[in-house]
Amino acid sequence: MRFQTASYDLAQALVGTGYGVALVSRLALTRVPRTTHRPLADPPLHRDLHAVTRSDTALTPLADVFRTLLLDVATDLRGGWSPQG
């Protein structure tokens, strides 16, 4: 049986019940019981994220905090990831 969903939570729940195998972004991983996470070996997949701001307008304080959080997460992800089961 083949099933497609836009919900990462549902896909991981199906894997946890033994009814599925799923490709899930590291950003969407949750620790669902009875699941194991493994990176794809060849070719490794990647995603480019971009934050675009206007050059003629200062960021609001909240937008600046959000941009900083995005940079922190990107730095953490670049540093490596070890699968946990």
Nearest to 9 by CA among 17, 77, 39: 17
CA distance 23 to 37: 9
- 25, with CB counted inside 10 A (0-12, 13-18, 19+), is exposed
The confidence score (pLDDT) of residue 85 equals: 39
* Greatest alpha-carbon span in the chain: 53
The confidence score (pLDDT) of residue 56 equals: 92
The confidence score (pLDDT) of residue 16 equals: 92
Contact 6, 22 (CB under 8 A): no
The confidence score (pLDDT) of residue 65 equals: 93
The predicted-structure confidence for 1-51, as pLDDT tens digits, reads as follows 788 888 989 999 999 998 888 888 877 888 888 888 888 777 767 777 777
The confidence score (pLDDT) of residue 84 equals: 45
Radius of gyration of the chain (CA): 17
